[in-house]
Amino acid sequence: MTTLAERSLALHAHYRGKIQSAPKVPVTGLADYNLWYTPGVAEPCLAIAAEPERVWELTNRGNTVAIVSDGTRVLGLGDIGPLAGLPVMEGKALIFKLLGGVDAVPLMLAVSEPDAFCATVAAVAPTFGGINLEDIAQPRCFELLSRLRPALDIPVWHDDQQGTATVALAAVLNALSLVGKPLGKVRIALVGMGAANVAVYRLLKVAGADPGAIIACDAGGTLHRGRRDLEAQAEVAPQWSICLESNAEGIVGGIPEALAGADVALAFSRPGPDVIRPEWIAAMARDAIVIAGANPVPEIHPQAALAAGARIVGTGRSDFPNQVNNALAFPGIFRGVLDVQARTITDTMAVAAAEALAGCAHDGGICEDHILPTLEEPEVAVRVAVATGLAAQAEGVARRPGTAAELEARARTAITAAQRLALLW
């Protein structure tokens, strides 16, 4: 019997990757070539030259996203470079298409300087309706996102930050509803302050958590006003601003001190085991919620966390309950922003998506082992798309209006068409 790794390698070689381009218009003869290419194509070109906004109407820009990476932090594999990172971005494009009906194009960049990276993305932006940054090492990932978002008039999203945070927030919302604790009244520990938990912190604030009741912890200890090492990096990384507004009690120490008395622990740090110890979980509040998101090995094994007193535990893995999986969020979020031709994705829009995601699981019946929906639940992307599109309009960043019913129809049509295409193979 072959292993999963052996099967994956063989099938990647057999199909030579996972994605391809396919026409979306009928072509039966020369007359169709004349229509879709020269001389007929001159008419849409002239129309767009006269009215640039018609590019959304006359081309596929409004359904095309670039997945941009330099391969410096690929999954759990580290800095493997742009060539070796390409299979991951093709896989991401596959998920974009099947779950969101979005045409995604992997763009692996062999650049190391932020200036060159940003200039390259800006130069290719006219082709795309959105940019998905992926698998970029920190602190560069923070700088790239903060520079590109205001520079472009299309959404720029870093899935390792915003996608993880959106799904983690949905998990927290449903877990708190199960234990009967309001978000604004709980104490939250963040273990690891890389891309994921920096964005988790932002979304928790927007959703109603008290920043003073959030105790963050990185390799240097808890974040507080005395962290001069983080103050020195304030221009290139956002952790210093978190030092200034979180941890109202000024708790100093490490992971044990951050977890003591916490109602919720959100860990996105380094692979375990034993990054988080059972005795530290035992010191958390009653009915504690633990998300141990490191891959491939969680910071603490779920059974160990439960045995230590946690009531609800989630991980980043599909073979344990309550998987925090970015793919629950980004296909629907991009479907929604593309369908309203949004200019950006705000934190408020991400919170709306998280609430919709939580609602999908809640409506199906949540319990300690089921606080999030799965990728096999067909309504997830549609509901997330509708919530995101409506929030974009409320935020004033949408070019194209749409009611909830119209957004649902747009999303369902695109996703159904993509899934029918996959069945042909």
Catalytic residue positions, numbered: 37, 92
Q: Token digits for 289?
A: 């919620």
CA-CA distance, 361 to 173, in Å (whole number)? 11
CA-CA distance, 261 to 265, in Å (whole number)? 10
Q: Judge contact between 238 and 216, C-beta under 8 A.
A: no
> Beta strand pairing status for 289-292 and 188-191?
unpaired
Residues 6+ apart with CB under 8 A from 144: 114, 117, 118, 133, 136, 158
Phi, psi of 64, rounded to the nearest 5 degrees: -120, 130
DSSP bridge pairs for 108: 69
What dihedral do alpha carbons 275, 277, 283, 286 form, nearest 10°? 90
Residues 6+ apart with CB under 8 A from 186: 176, 209, 213, 263, 264
**Contacts for 29-32 with beta carbons within 8 Å, 24 or more apart?**
none
| Residue 139 preceded by cis peptide, ω within 30 | yes
